[in-house]
Amino acid sequence: MISANRLTKAYGDFLAIEDLSFDIEGNTVVGFLGANGAGKSTTMRILACYLPPTSGSARVAGFDCFTQSMQVRQALGYLPESVPLYTDMRVEEYLRYMAQLKDVPARQRTLAIDRVLETCRIAPRRRKAISTLSKGFRQRVGLAATLIHDPKVLILDEPTVGLDPVEIRETRQMIRGLAEQHTVLLSTHILPEVQQICGRVIIIRGGRILANAAIDELVREQSNQFVDVTASAPSTDALVDAMRGIAGVDAVDAADDDVPNEPRCRLRIAADHDARSAISGTLVERGWSCLALEPSRETLEDIYVRLTETEKVV
Ligand SMILES: Nc1ncnc2c1ncn2[C@@H]1O[C@H](COP(=O)(O)OP(=O)(O)O)[C@@H](O)[C@H]1O
Ligand SMILES: [Mg+2]
């Protein structure tokens, strides 16, 4: 449905995106993640035919974004970063105007407007002037306009930016509903949101892809595991030393919130390794009792921060 093939965009000497390739198929929401300036909007604008790439190509719904931009625009709903609304228009009036721009046949416009008012839950405000609406409702009007020609593919560039928590939750529910019948590419900085509504993520940094994977796969393969060990060792140093020798333990750090007489440390364990029995075995060997073994795992947010802050390319 969405296919980027070696997309590169240069602004003068500066490469905003470089050699980006990915494919997105089926009814799904794919999270497009990256720090500010990573190249998300540039990529999305190319896919939406608003910007030609310097090299490479892209296809949406089988059409080439460069040579078949009319067909792409028909198949695609694009919500840009800042939604251009005509604030002196009323909601319904604006949607009718957008329907006309998007070539929705005149006979079908009223039906199309009713449909998007319903989907975006703004029917009760259809006669209000856009200027009188809250930020959240304006964003919904923008989304409604994006959906007016019933496109199969949606490209949403940070749709929840600047919204309050309740508005964010409502927008998230709307996007989740849309995924049942659409292919959605969604850029956002809200990682828990991604974890709740996206099946896959594409993470970019400096215009290059760092990861393109199903979220559960990414978490399974990339997330470091930790075990917090509390034991009746004579000292924290002794405990740390003992834990360092265990196979599969990549790092050991003394806990900084140590309780007196309860030495504690945090072990980082290699992905997909279970070190629990080796840990308790080592404690038994030393004659120390185990007071607590608390496992934890990096979240998608931890992985994201680690990947985008280091050089390592997955
Ligand atoms: N029109 C432009 N001219 C020059 N540089 C630009 C232009 N648009 C974006 N950039 C630069 O390209 C990089 C990627 O920007 P952008 O795609 O907006 O990133 P994101 O959406 O991930 O924050 C940034 O460093 C930005 O400053
Ligand atoms: Mg952006």
Kindly report, residue by residue over 187-230, the tens digit of the pLDDT.
Answer: 988 888 888 899 999 999 999 999 999 999 998 888 889 999 99
| Cα separation, 103 vs 124, whole angstroms | 25
Mean pLDDT of the chain: 92
Same domain as 70, residue 18? yes
In-domain check, residue 308: no
Range of the domain at 279: 224-296
Helices and strands in the chain: count of H runs, count of E runs: 11, 14
Ligand 1 atom at minimum distance from 11 CA: 4
Q: Which atom in ligand 1 lies closest to the alpha carbon of residue 207?
A: 14
Strand partners, 225: 269, 297
What's the 42 CA to ligand 2 centre distance in angstroms? 7
Give the pLDDT band (50/70/90) at residue 258: low
- Output the pLDDT for position 270: 82
Nearest residue by C-alpha to atom 1 in ligand 1: 11
Is there an atom of ligand 1 within 6 Å of 188 CB? Answer: no
Which one of 220, 238, 262 terminates a domain? 220
Give the number of the atom of ligand 1 that is nearest the alpha carbon of residue 41.
Answer: 21
> Looking at residues 289-304, what average pLDDT do you find?
90
One domain for residues 206 and 228: no
Q: For the chain, what percent of residues have pLDDT higher than 70? A: 98
Q: In this structure, is residue 309 part of a structural domain?
A: no
Enumerate residues 6+ apart whose C-beta is below 8 A from 185.
2, 24, 30, 32, 44, 47, 153, 154, 155, 156
Give a yes or no: residue 304 inside a domain: no
Strand-pair category, 76-79 with 290-297: unpaired
How much is the pTM?
Answer: 0.85
Question: What is the predicted pLDDT for the residue at 312?
Answer: 47
For residues 169 and 286, what is the distance between their CA atoms, to the nearest angstrom?
51
* Residue 312 within any structural domain of the chain: no
Site of tokens 């980027």: 4
Element (H, E) at 267: strand 264-269
Note whether 1 and 25 are within 8 A (CB).
yes
- Domain membership flag for residue 251: yes
Compute the distance between CA of residue 288 and CA of residue 133 in angstroms, rounded to an integer.
Answer: 65
301 in a domain, yes or no?
no
162 within ligand 1 shell (Cβ under 6 A): no
- Examine the domain organization and report whether 206 and 231 are in the same domain: no
Tell me if 302 is assigned to some domain: no
CA pseudo-torsion sign 22, 193, 87, 90: positive
Residues 204 and 247 in one domain: no
Indicate the number of domains in the chain: 2
Measured between alpha carbons, how far is 68 from 121 in angstroms, rounded to an integer? 33
Residue 251 has pLDDT above 90, yes or no: yes
> Does residue 156 share a domain with residue 48?
yes
Q: Tell me what the mean pLDDT of segment 243-272 comes to.
A: 86
Asked if residue 282 belongs to a domain, the reply is yes
For residue 248, give the CATH number of its domain: 3.30.70.1340
